[in-house]
């Protein structure tokens, strides 16, 4: 079964710290992996999209890596700010399926 898992479910860190969010998936045959941010009561904002042929993508303070062989992706957030507080979702498009399979998300809290 094609599944995506995010651990931990919640993370709380002081402002200014660098942090890593984890995502794992059960099948290495993927088309791409997408990281989203969801604020409470809001929709999803796409942060980064990594194609299966890529190893990482960067946008500002965010860096996402992809290791297909181990079925893992990480989202690195540098110099965290209170405004980074949100739920971060990882989603994978597995080969043979034109749909996103989501993880449960990691709820991130940055404490001032």
Residues of this chain that bind another protein (CB under 8 A): 31-32, 34, 36, 42-46, 49, 51, 87, 89, 91, 93, 95, 97-102, 104-105
HSE of 40, CA atoms in CB hemisphere, 13 A? 5
Smallest gap from Cβ 48 to another protein, in A, equals 9
Smallest gap from Cβ 16 to another protein, in A, equals 27
Smallest gap from Cβ 71 to another protein, in A, equals 18
CA dist 110 and 92 (Å) reads: 26
């Amino acid at each position: 079964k094609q599944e995506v898992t995010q651990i931990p479910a919640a993370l709380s860190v002081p402002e200014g710290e660098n942090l890593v969010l984890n995502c794992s998936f059960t099948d290495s045959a993927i088309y791409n992996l997408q990281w989203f941010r969801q604020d409470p009561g809001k929709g999803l904002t796409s942060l980064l999209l990594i194609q299966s042929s890529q190893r990482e993508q960067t946008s500002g303070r965010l860096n996402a890596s992809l290791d297909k062989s181990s079925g893992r992706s990480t989202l690195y957030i540098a110099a965290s700010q209170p405004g980074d507080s949100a739920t971060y979702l990882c989603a994978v498009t597995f080969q043979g399926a034109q749909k996103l399979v989501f993880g449960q998300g990691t709820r991130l809290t940055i404490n001032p």
